[in-house]
Amino acid sequence: MPDVRNCRKCGKIYNYIGGAPLCPSCKELDEADFKRIKEYLYDNPKASVTQVSVDLDVSVEKIKRFLKEGRLEIAGDDGNLILECENCGRSIKTGRYCVECERSLTSSLRSAASQFKSELESQSQNTGRSNAFGMRYLNKSYEKKD
Ligand SMILES: [Zn+2]
Ligand SMILES: [Zn+2]
């Protein structure tokens, strides 16, 4: 069943296929804006968001959205005022989290994964050891558990 939605920009009904909630023609305009911003930044690598917004007549909100999607990165100084880390509220230049939060988020994911892995490893080590040491060690580990 098609996912029919109203375009957030022009209100037209369209078949939603993912990404920004815009109809194909608005999405095309959106992409065109993105391309213009990209080209503009190519020529003016240190441009600020305000500058881009004024020069290209693209709303700051839209530029912010591209930034949050991680498609653009701010090189200029006023980038510090535009985006905030969703976790700690610190100013960031692209994406949703600052470098620290990004790192701790990934590392907590990783440590959960490695904990799981070491549990598995210790399990297999125990099995290996009980095989090596025979029945006696197995009995002992039962005692330990209870
Ligand atoms: Zn539309
Ligand atoms: Zn943060």
Ligand closest to the CA atom of residue 9: 1
CA of 10 to the centre of ligand 1 (A): 4
Over the chain, what is the mean pLDDT?
80
Does position 1 have pLDDT exceeding 80, yes or no?
no
Distance, CA of 39 to CA of 23 (rounded, Å): 24
Strands (E), the chain: 4-6, 13-15, 83-84, 91-92
Q: Residue 127: its pLDDT value, please?
A: 53
Does position 94 have pLDDT exceeding 70, yes or no?
yes
Ligand closest to the CA atom of residue 13: 1
CA 8 to chain centre: 23
Ligand closest to the CA atom of residue 24: 1
Distance, CA of 22 to CA of 31 (rounded, Å): 11
CA of 85 to the centre of ligand 2 (A): 5
Average pLDDT over residues 44-69: 88
| Confidence band of 132 (pLDDT split at 50, 70, 90) | very low
Ligand closest to the CA atom of residue 100: 2
Position 29, amino acid? L
Distance, CA of 98 to CA of 85 (rounded, Å): 5
Does position 131 have pLDDT exceeding 50, yes or no?
no
CA of 66 to the centre of ligand 1 (A): 18
pTM: 0.56
Does residue 107 contact residue 135 with C-beta atoms inside 8 Å?
no
CA of 97 to the centre of ligand 2 (A): 5
Distance, CA of 28 to CA of 18 (rounded, Å): 14
Percent of the chain with pLDDT over 90: 28
Tens of pLDDT, residue by residue over 113-129, are: 787 777 777 776 655 44
Per-domain residue ranges of the chain: 4-97, 101-145
Ligand closest to the CA atom of residue 12: 1
| Confidence band of 139 (pLDDT split at 50, 70, 90) | low
Does position 4 have pLDDT exceeding 80, yes or no?
yes
Distance, CA of 36 to CA of 69 (rounded, Å): 17
CA of 121 to the centre of ligand 1 (A): 54
CA of 48 to the centre of ligand 2 (A): 22
